[in-house]
Chains A and B, each alone.
Chain A
């Protein structure tokens, strides 16, 4: 009797150990996934307004505008991204704009459709976002019939701001269609010599890259704060040059887009890396 009890206890203990180990493994996996989400699964330079995107097997000339959504590749679409993407799809359908979704291999699996894939989105094409030159997700791009990016939305929108974001994206006003400009260090030096009016921004956070000495006269405003601090600390009439050599290409693009959405239409990136034409256009 005692032997049997001990055996049962041993089995129970083993089961507990097994459960805890599994739980711990799942915890680590979700933590890793959360870290990946925070850092962003892809962080390379991405296609910009004015660049050309080609989608193999799709004739973009059939419609005046085409909407391309690049959705998350390795982790399930977050609720926030999904809401925004669905709002984009609804609006595009109302305007009879064809919608194409590109995603990584994980999304294209048949089983993946059942796991958190937003139901309002069309079935993804068998193309990776990076193949189109899209280095960041979620990205929404409005292409004209030649495949040229006319509007771009990178990242998700704050909760409750989905419709406003979509409205802004599809609005025809403003200078949003101008591509982000890149300037060289020589151009900056020449502008200084000519005493042209421009403001140089050092977009590092205080704890970021302390080893780098910024260009003289640069205003230190972290890239992520430019949207809020820009209107108070920068002059809207002069050219704003963000030093993209210090931070990554994507972070700099995002900073320039933030400035643009705050009303700074004259913003440029110093040595801004751009993807240019997508690699598939030549094939």
Chain B
């Protein structure tokens, strides 16, 4: 009888520890981080916003993008910057909206498609006589992204 009681206690303890252990030790599958240049080489489909009428914004808007394993965009966020005005500008909102429809060639790790996260730089120059929103290294290759 005492033996069976010990067995039951062991099982209960084992099961609870197993549950606790599995809860804390499940393998994480985080998205792998790619450099901007590598990420831009994987762009399959993209669209860029144009400068809103009357806008005089100038500077960089940096978007953090995370893709699913199939290369479609899962999340987009605008990176905090020193320039709060640009970060919360209509340009930033357009970029965030359009970037969700971009798609990338799937990235694989040892043959298995994986989620990817990266940073994409948008150069906004709505102040010049030729207003533009460009992506260095993608739509503006004069100044190559490194």
With A and B bound together, what is the CA distance between A124 and B76 in angstroms?
Answer: 44
Which of B13-21, B49-57, B66-74, B95-103 faces chain A?
B13-21
B25 near A20: Cβ-Cβ < 8 Å: yes
Greatest chain A CB density within 10 A among B3, B35, B60, B146 is at B146
Closest to B36 in A: A228
| In-complex Cβ contact of A227 among B18, B62, B145 (8 A) | B145
With A and B bound together, what is the CA distance between A20 and B13 in angstroms?
Answer: 13
Q: In chain B, residues 93-114, which have Cβ atoms closer than 8 Å to a Cβ of chain A?
A: none
- Using C-beta atoms within 8 Å of the partner chain, give the interface range for chain B: 35 or more
Closest to B83 in A: A220
With A and B bound together, what is the CA distance between A160 and B3 in angstroms?
Answer: 63
Q: Which residues of A contact B129 (CB under 8 A)?
A: none
Q: Could you give, for residues 12-29 of chain A, a 1 whenever the CB lies within 8 Å of some chain B CB and a 0 otherwise?
A: 111011001101100100
A220 near B82: Cβ-Cβ < 8 Å: yes
| In-complex Cβ contact of B8 among A6, A16, A21 (8 A) | A6
| Chain B CB within 8 A of A258 CB | yes
With A and B bound together, what is the CA distance between A65 and B41 in angstroms?
Answer: 35
B80 near A207: Cβ-Cβ < 8 Å: yes
| Chain B CB within 8 A of A262 CB | yes
Given contacts A10-B10, A206-B82, contact A225 B25 (CB under 8 A): no
Q: Which residues of A contact B59 (CB under 8 A)?
A: 233
Q: Which residues of A contact B123 (CB under 8 A)?
A: 232
Closest to B12 in A: A13
| Chain B CB within 8 A of A231 CB | yes
| In-complex Cβ contact of B136 among A12, A160, A206, A232 (8 A) | A232
Q: Which residues of B contact A6 (CB under 8 A)?
A: 3-4, 7-8, 11
Chain B residues touching A, majority SS = helix
A2 near B4: Cβ-Cβ < 8 Å: yes
Q: Which residues of A contact B81 (CB under 8 A)?
A: 206
| Chain A CB within 8 A of B143 CB | yes
A10 near B11: Cβ-Cβ < 8 Å: yes
A14 to B: closest C-beta gap in Å:
6
With A and B bound together, what is the CA distance between A158 and B118 in angstroms?
Answer: 13
Q: In chain A, residues 1-48, which have Cβ atoms closer than 8 Å to a Cβ of chain B?
A: 2-3, 6-7, 9-10, 12-14, 16-17, 20-21, 23-24, 27
A225 near B62: Cβ-Cβ < 8 Å: yes
| Chain A CB within 8 A of B37 CB | yes
A16 near B18: Cβ-Cβ < 8 Å: yes
Q: Which residues of B contact A3 (CB under 8 A)?
A: 3-4, 7
With A and B bound together, what is the CA distance between A135 and B11 in angstroms?
Answer: 52
B127 to A: closest C-beta gap in Å:
13
| Chain A CB within 8 A of B47 CB | no
| In-complex Cβ contact of B146 among A10, A24, A232, A262 (8 A) | A262
| Chain B CB within 8 A of A196 CB | no
With A and B bound together, what is the CA distance between A161 and B6 in angstroms?
Answer: 62
B117 to A: closest C-beta gap in Å:
14
With A and B bound together, what is the CA distance between A31 and B136 in angstroms?
Answer: 34
Q: What are 25 inter-chain pairs, A to B, with CB distance below 8 A?
A: A2-B4, A6-B3, A6-B7, A7-B3, A9-B11, A13-B11, A13-B18, A14-B10, A14-B14, A16-B14, A17-B14, A17-B18, A21-B17, A21-B21, A24-B24, A24-B25, A158-B38, A159-B38, A228-B121, A228-B136, A228-B137, A228-B145, A233-B60, A258-B146, A262-B146
On A, residues with C-beta under 8 Å from B are 2-3, 6-7, 9-10, 12-14, 16-17, 20-21, 23-24, 27, 158-161, 206-207, 220, 225, 227-229, 231-233, 258, 261-262
Q: A2-B4, A13-B13 are in contact. List 14 more A-B contacts (CB 8 A).
A: A3-B7, A6-B8, A7-B3, A10-B6, A13-B11, A14-B10, A17-B13, A20-B25, A24-B24, A228-B146, A231-B136, A258-B146, A261-B146, A262-B146
A-B pairs, top 8 by smallest CB distance, nearest first, are A13-B14, A20-B21, A6-B7, A10-B10, A227-B146, A231-B143, A24-B25, A10-B7
